[in-house]
Structure 1
Amino acid sequence: MTMNAIIWPEGYIPGFTENYVSNEVIVAGLSAAEIWPLLSTPALWPTYYANSANVRFYDDKGPVLAVGDRFYFETFGFPVEAQCNEYVSPADGQPGRVAWHGWAGEEGTEGRLDVHHAWLVEDLEGGRVRILTQETQKGKPAEELHNAKPNPMINGHQEWLDGLVAAARANQGAK
């Protein structure tokens, strides 16, 4: 069986940035269609992931992400400006893909952080779903996050995945 991979933009290829994290879960009894609305609607993130807050879109966009949409949220103590640069809903035989470029701090300063955060959601045989999230980060804050032990990005993204799965299961029970 072949599984799909994240598509990386130039300048954000893992191994060539100050920080890279990868988290993945594969769970039975859920589908990409059940996960997708919780992930593609940023206003829902704080309902299942405590490390996200104050989500808002710009230019009367939203509530669901789309390529080119600008949005804002707070996470890991950073006020993140972001722009969605990949969005493909899951379909039969095709994984869902969503990614954004996020940034915090003034461009050209030591406090600047730039990230590419990507998600892949795909159905696997046997009634399973795979959720993969990977992020590359550039800048001095990324270097500090990389050196922190335990790694707050690995742990935070795992909480995001676990919350996403729990929320999807709760939605199944509410039907």
Structure 2
Amino acid sequence: MNAIIWPEDYTPGFTDNFCSNEVIVAGLTAAQIWPYLVTPTAWPSYYANSADPAFLDGTGPQLQDGSRFFFKTFGFPVDARCNEYVAPAEGHPGRVAWHGWAGDEGATDRLDVHHAWLVENLEGGRVRILTQETQKGEPAKELAKASPNPMINGHQDWLNGLIRAARENLPL
């Protein structure tokens, strides 16, 4: 199975927080999952922890490499830039990732994240969805100490909603 490609400054183990969630389900394909994942305006329809998505650069409605967008999640207003975008194709996984940030650069409440997704077809009519996020900053240190872990639980909700949206063919 494939793995996330990490920018050097966001390698897991060298950041303040890391979370990883994965599902493998039968009866769906990467092509069915992909539109719901890369259309931020669809996120609130299946993921309750996402609000107010908007593109900031005239792109959209789907992410693309370099897209600038905004959304609220985990109580943070997040500005983001898509820095990896490869749609799934026969024999190759889909990959999408963004650098997100909240707060002013250099401020003690600044949060920086790299959130990456991998969507790949597996044999037997199964699809694998992997989402991993690394975080830096004081808010990340606090999130890492929380139990239960809000990032693990929140991202699992995102995965579950993503699967439900694709199965039910929700409108985009």
What band does the TM-score fall into relative to the shorter chain? over 0.9
Q: CA deviation at 1:90?
A: 0.2
Q: Secondary structure at the match of 1:108?
A: coil
- Paired residue for 1:117? 115
- Paired residue for 1:80? 78
- Paired residue for 1:140? 138
For 2:14 and 2:3, locate their aligned partners in 1 and report how far apart those are by CA, in whole Å.
18
Where structure 1 has 5 or more consecutive residues not aligned to the other structure, the ranges are: none
2:21 is equivalent to residue 9 of structure 1: no
Residues matched between the structures, number: 171
Return the TM-score normalized by structure 2: 0.98
- Paired residue for 2:51? 53
Q: CA deviation at 1:133?
A: 0.1
Decide which of 142, 164, 167 is 1:166's aligned counterpart: 164
2:25 is equivalent to residue 27 of structure 1: yes
Give, as a single letter, the amino acid of the residue that structure 2 aligns with 1:108.
G
Give, as a single letter, the amino acid of the residue that structure 2 aligns with 1:168.
A
Q: Secondary structure at the match of 1:45?
A: helix
Return the TM-score normalized by structure 1: 0.96
Q: How does 1:86-105 map to 2 (within 5 A)?
A: 86-105=84-103
For 1:69 and 1:170, locate their aligned partners in 2 and report how far apart those are by CA, in whole Å.
28
- Paired residue for 1:68? 66
Whether the 8 Å contact between 2:57 and 2:69 is mirrored in structure 1 is no
Q: CA deviation at 1:110?
A: 0.8
Q: CA deviation at 1:60?
A: 1.0
Percentage of identical aligned residues: 73
For 1:109 and 1:140, locate their aligned partners in 2 and report how far apart those are by CA, in whole Å.
10
Q: CA deviation at 1:59?
A: 2.0
Q: CA deviation at 1:21?
A: 0.1
Deviating beyond 2 angstroms after TM superposition, the runs of 4 or more aligned structure 1 residues are: none
For 1:171 and 1:56, locate their aligned partners in 2 and report how far apart those are by CA, in whole Å.
22
Whether the 8 Å contact between 2:114 and 2:135 is mirrored in structure 1 is yes
- RMSD in angstroms over aligned alpha carbons? 1.0
Whether the 8 Å contact between 2:82 and 2:98 is mirrored in structure 1 is yes
For 1:51 and 1:61, locate their aligned partners in 2 and report how far apart those are by CA, in whole Å.
23
